[in-house]
Chain A
Amino acid sequence: QKEVEQDPGPLSVPEGAIVSLNCTYSNSAFQYFMWYRQYSRKGPELLMYTYSSGNKEDGRFTAQVDKSSKYISLFIRDSQPSDSATYLCAFLRSNDYKLSFGAGTTVTVRA
């Protein structure tokens, strides 16, 4: 079993739709939960991070963590063409502070 599993996509949605992205994990040492956004041929940029179960909102983005079920989600409301990118979930291990990444989900928002 892989340490991190991310819904592979790709996803194509019309402008204004809600985008839902999901990752599951198996390592109980994961302490911080992050989402990165990566535009084509660019470095990933940190979108959101949290360390507790529950929801965290930032504008149109909501990060959801369920530690008991070991999954995290990212929701994008009122999606825009500029949201078209690959989204990577990432997990920070508490024992050695290394990051483990999902493979990424590519999202296209159609105008």
Chain B
Amino acid sequence: DGGITQSPKYLFRKEGQNVTLSCEQNLNHDAMYWYRQDPGQGLRLIYYSQIVNDFQKGDIAEGYSVSREKKESFPLTVTSAQKNPTAFYLCASSSWTGDETQYFGPGTRLLVL
């Protein structure tokens, strides 16, 4: 079953705590992305990676960090520097073979205690 998995489905963060959201894909896609979705707003790009061991900042990277050590994995860390982390986080992936459509995971909802 090909697809993108994200875990956990819900995550709670305490003040001053770093938390890591998992994203795994078995679609053999080269590119992976992290978006943040807030109510009434479109998806905003946090970070993206086109190849292993390389990634670029998106439009709202402050307070977040990522790594891309394996092709199938692209974890996102929400650091304590992110002052408003409550949101729905979506991971996506795409190939670079002429079909640049992005496919999304089920999302992780992050809530602050």
Q: Which of B31, B101, B105 contacts A43 (CB 8 A)?
A: B105
Q: Which residues of B contact A44 (CB under 8 A)?
A: 43, 90, 104
Nearest A-chain residue to B33, judged by Cβ: A99
The reply to whether the CB of B11 lies closer than 8 angstroms to some CB of chain A is no
Q: Which residues of A contact B104 (CB under 8 A)?
A: 36, 43-45
Q: Which residues of A contact B45 (CB under 8 A)?
A: 98-99
CA of A103 to CA of B38, assembled, Å: 9
Q: Which residues of A contact B48 (CB under 8 A)?
A: 98
Nearest A-chain residue to B44, judged by Cβ: A101
Give per-residue flags for B99-113: 1 if the beta carbon is below 8 A from chain A beta carbons, else 0.
011111111010000
- For residues 68 through 111 of chain A, which have their beta carbon under 8 Å from a beta carbon of chain B? 88, 92, 97-104
- Please determine whether B107 and A88 come into contact, CB atoms closer than 8 angstroms: no
The reply to whether the CB of B40 lies closer than 8 angstroms to some CB of chain A is yes
- Please determine whether A92 and B107 come into contact, CB atoms closer than 8 angstroms: no
The reply to whether the CB of A41 lies closer than 8 angstroms to some CB of chain B is yes
The reply to whether the CB of A61 lies closer than 8 angstroms to some CB of chain B is no
CA of A3 to CA of B42, assembled, Å: 11
Q: Which of B41, B58, B102, B109 contacts A103 (CB 8 A)?
A: B41
CA of A43 to CA of B109, assembled, Å: 11
Distance (whole angstroms) from the CB of A97 to the closest CB of chain B: 6
Q: Which residues of B contact A98 (CB under 8 A)?
A: 45, 48, 58
